[in-house]
Every structure is written in C-alpha cells, then in structure tokens.
C-alpha cells in the first residue's frame, strides 16, 4: 500500500509500535495496514492455539469438518483408530484444496483435481502415473498440531506451539467440575464482521460498552455494572459462596503468560441477584454441567490463546472464536455447549439456549463495524481508555510485543 494512504506517514512498523501511548487505543494503521496484517499472520495466527471445534462434531471414523482462518484451511478428522487429527487442506501434488465441503464423512481424502488419495491419517495411498522413483511416503498431507482440552479441539499451525501444560495443570479441577469431557456442541453460528480482527477481540475484552450496547446482557450479568457497584456484589458473592466451583482467578493471559506457555485465564464473577444462567430472565436453560449440583449465582470465564474465549454458566457453556479472514474482515463464531446426555427438545430448547448470545453478538457485530468505520476516518486518533478497559490494555500490550516478535 502506498504511504499516501497514511497521509505521508512513512514510519516503519517498529517505529509505530514504539510510538504507542499506553492508556490509549492504537493508531489507525494497526487496523488498516496490510503489511501489519502480514506480520500478524506470521507472529500470531500461525503460532498460537485456536479453538477449531468439538469432538462431538466428528463422532465416527472419517467424520471431518474444516477449520478456516485467513488463507488456511485445516481438515479436522476422526481417524480409523478414533483419534482426532488435523491436516492442512492442501494437496501435495499441485496444491488444490482437497475437501471442499465444510463438513462430511470420507473413507479416503481424494483430491478433486488429479485424484491423489490420502488416508484419514494423511498418508498418500494412491497417485496415478507417477513413475517408479516417486516416494509416496514423502508426500503425506502436512499435519497441524492438535490438542484436546476435554472435548474442545485446539489446533495450532506452528511446528513448535506454546505449551498448554501449565494451563492443564492449573485448571484441571475447573475442567473436571464443569465436565469439559462430558459436553456436546448443541449449536453454533458464524457472524461475519467487516472489521479488523483486533477490534473484535478488543471489544470482547471490555464491558465498558455492555450497559449502553447490551440491554439484554446487562439484565443478567453484574459485569455490566460500574466498578464500585460490581465490587460490592462480588464481595457478597465470594463471602456467601461455598466454593464448590473454583472462585480463585488464574491470570496468565496475554502479557502475563510465561514465555513458552500459551496464555490462559480463568475467573468467576457474580450474575445479578436471582439470576441462574445467561438467558432471558436469567432462567436455567439446560441440565447442570459436570459435577455442579446447584446454581450459585455465578458464571466463569475461561480463555486460551489470543482468539478463543468461553463463558461458563452452571448449565451451559458459550465459546467465542475470533477468526481473521483478511486485514479488513473477520468473523466471530459462537458455540453453545450442553452436557452430552442432554436431549434437545426435552432437556433444552435451542432458541432459549442461544437467545442471549445470539442477540448480544448481533449487537457486538454492529458496534465493531461502526468502530472500524470511524477508525477508517482521516480524523480518527487514539482515544483514552477507561478503567473498565484494563483487559483491553493487557491485550494491546501483548499484541504490540507479539507484533514486534
Ligand atoms: S492437485 Fe491434488 S491431485 Fe493434483
Ligand atoms: Fe459486547
């Protein structure tokens, strides 16, 4: 892009990073410059762990779905041995995408171009007319790294991704309490967003916007309250809670993660008094998760890596994944999880289950797009952050360090 685009600003990315003023939002170029986006691909998207999906999407051998981010397409598949693997959807012949449907079942992964065929483990098993000297064993599909957290499938495109071990150890009791290995995906929805991915992640980091922008959310969640009101409610919540669901926070997210570890965070906060779950009127909408015996008026947050976030109510979990598609567009994929033996129509109603975060994400999409439109203006300049935006500051600190590399 010509430098005229930035009104003659010829600063390098390093200079832009060094010029960032803590306590403020970032300069326009971070949200518009394709050169910066290119560096984000290398330094962020191809390095970290991202939520690809859930094991309940691929119960049988050969079941697969595609996870797509920026230019990358990954086949997440159940092998004959029942393992979950991930292969880059790039044929080793001349590079065609192999799976073209978003999900399906396959006995072999056969490229639609010249019919090279790969088994479910990614090994090349058939390639016509390639001559005696052609070594099929050297032409398997490129693997992507996969780790399961309960039934959540995390994927990394790095050969040497950050470690999830610290998180696994620290949060083992949390995963057990909420029954992370005993959930199923009940619904999912993609919200395309005409904005840079960082505006979407930043929006998710702060609840300064919750009261003005999310009436429905603010009727259930205490986090929408002003800080002094929230602290009073949180103090009562902590004093009266029996602690059977972990209350203690683990803040190893973004700039607080140890070098070599993937960032993660866990915390539990009160809902407004009398609310049980994230729904219309705060009503319960599904059977209690895992080992939870009752509603304690709280909800937990969990995040892993820079793009995947979860809100865990006592009866269901909502996952949010922010996926960059290009420098000026991204999407928010929302996933609703319930316990794996819950029956739709009997134990939960899909409309009631998904109502709050469907309506809230629709308004988030609107807010984020409006934000981008203003940031695109010649008159945009970084603005001061409020005290309710400290998580956003943490994200910005981490982001700038990651971009620097
Ligand atoms: S590109 Fe896949 S078989 Fe030729
Ligand atoms: Fe929001």
Q: What angle do CA 54, 191, 215 make, to 5 degrees?
A: 105
* Phi and psi at residue 125, to the nearest 5°: -115, -20
Measured CA to CA, the distance from residue 257 to residue 267 in angstroms comes to: 15
pLDDT for the residue numbered 290: 98
Reported as a pLDDT band with limits 50, 70 and 90, residue 254 is confident
List the structure tokens of 260. 């070599």
Q: Which ligand 1 atom is the nearest neighbour of the CA of 96?
A: 1
1-33 per-position pLDDT tens digit: 555 677 788 999 999 999 999 999 999 999 999
| Domains assigned to the chain | 50-148 (2.102.10.10), 165-404 (3.90.380.10)
Query: Ligand 1 mean position to 41 CA, how many Å?
Result: 26
Contact residues for 282 (Cβ-Cβ < 8 A; gap 6+): 219, 220, 271, 272, 274, 275, 276
Q: What angle do CA 221, 224, 228 make, to 5 degrees?
A: 110
Q: Indicate the helix (H) or strand (E) that contains 192.
A: strand 183-193
Reported as a pLDDT band with limits 50, 70 and 90, residue 335 is very high
CA within 13 Å, CB half, 46: 13
> What average pLDDT score do residues 76-94 get?
98
Q: Indicate the helix (H) or strand (E) that contains 256.
A: none
> What average pLDDT score do residues 79-106 get?
98
pLDDT for the residue numbered 405: 87
148-198 per-position pLDDT tens digit: 999 999 999 999 999 999 999 999 999 999 999 999 999 999 999 999 999
Nearest bound ligand to CA 118? 1
Query: Ligand 1 mean position to 140 CA, how many Å?
Result: 12
Kindly state the percentage of the chain with pLDDT values over 70.
99
351-361 per-position pLDDT tens digit: 999 999 999 99
Query: Ligand 2 mean position to 365 CA, how many Å?
Result: 8
Nearest bound ligand to CA 130? 1
Measured CA to CA, the distance from residue 35 to residue 30 in angstroms comes to: 9
Nearest CA to ligand 1 atom 1: 94
Nearest bound ligand to CA 114? 1
Q: Which ligand 1 atom is the nearest neighbour of the CA of 95?
A: 1
Contact residues for 43 (Cβ-Cβ < 8 A; gap 6+): 402, 403, 405
Distinct helix (H) and strand (E) counts, the chain: 11, 17
> What average pLDDT score do residues 56-60 get?
98
- Residues whose beta carbon lies within 6 Å of some atom of ligand 1: 91, 93-96, 111, 113-116
Measured CA to CA, the distance from residue 212 to residue 128 in angstroms comes to: 62
How far is residue 81 from each of residues 32, 59, 84, 85, measured CA to CA in Å?
45, 12, 9, 10
pLDDT for the residue numbered 251: 87
pLDDT for the residue numbered 4: 61
Nearest CA to ligand 1 atom 3: 114
Closest to 17 measured CA to CA, from 2, 29, 1: 29
Average pLDDT, the chain: 95
Measured CA to CA, the distance from residue 108 to residue 62 in angstroms comes to: 8
Nearest CA to ligand 1 atom 4: 114
């Amino acid at each position: 892009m010509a430098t005229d685009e930035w009104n003659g600003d010829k600063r390098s990315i390093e200079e832009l990073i060094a010029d960032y003023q803590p306590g403020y939002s970032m300069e326009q170029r971070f949200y518009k410059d394709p050169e910066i986006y290119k560096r984000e691909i290398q330094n962020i998207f191809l390095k970290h762990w991202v939520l690809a999906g859930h094991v309940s999407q691929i119960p049988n051998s050969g079941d697969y779905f595609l996870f797509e981010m920026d230019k990358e397409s990954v086949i997440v598949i159940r092998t004959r041995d029942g393992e979950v693997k991930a292969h880059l959807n790039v044929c080793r012949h001349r590079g065609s995408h192999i799976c073209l449907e978003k999900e399906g079942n396959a006995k072999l992964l056969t490229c639609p171009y010249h019919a090279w065929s790969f088994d479910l483990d990614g090994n090349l098993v058939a390639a016509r007319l390639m001559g005696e000297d052609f070594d099929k064993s050297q032409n398997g599909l490129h693997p992507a790294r996969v780790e399961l957290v309960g039934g959540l499938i995390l994927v990394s495109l790095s050969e040497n991704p950050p470690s999830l071990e610290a998180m696994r150890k620290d949060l083992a009791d949390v995963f057990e309490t909420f029954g992370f290995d005993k959930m199923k995906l009940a619904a999912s929805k993609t919200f395309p967003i005409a904005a840079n991915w960082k505006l979407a992640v930043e929006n998710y980091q702060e609840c300064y916007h919750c009261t003005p922008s999310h009436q429905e959310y603010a009727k259930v969640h205490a986090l929408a309250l002003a800080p002094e009101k929230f602290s009073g409610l949180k103090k009562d919540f902590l004093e009266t809670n029996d602690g059977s669901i972990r209350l203690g926070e683990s803040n190893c997210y973004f700039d607080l993660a140890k070098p070599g570890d993937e960032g993660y965070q866990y915390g539990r906060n009160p809902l407004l008094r009398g609310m049980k779950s994230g729904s219309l009127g705060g009503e319960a909408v599904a059977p209690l998760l895992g080992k939870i015996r009752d509603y304690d008026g709280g909800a937990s947050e969990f995040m892993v890596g820079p793009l995947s976030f979860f809100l865990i109510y006592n009866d269901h979990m909502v996952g949010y994944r922010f996926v960059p598609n290009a420098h000026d567009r991204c999407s928010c994929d929302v996933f609703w999880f319930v316990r794996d033996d819950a029956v739709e129509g009997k134990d939960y109603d899909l409309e009631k289950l998904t109502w709050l975060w469907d309506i809230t994400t629709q308004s988030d999409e609107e807010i984020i797009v409006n934000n981008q439109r203003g940031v695109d203006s010649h008159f945009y300049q970084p603005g001061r952050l409020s005290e309710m935006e400290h998580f956003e500051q943490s994200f910005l600190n981490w982001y700038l360090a990651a971009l620097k590399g």
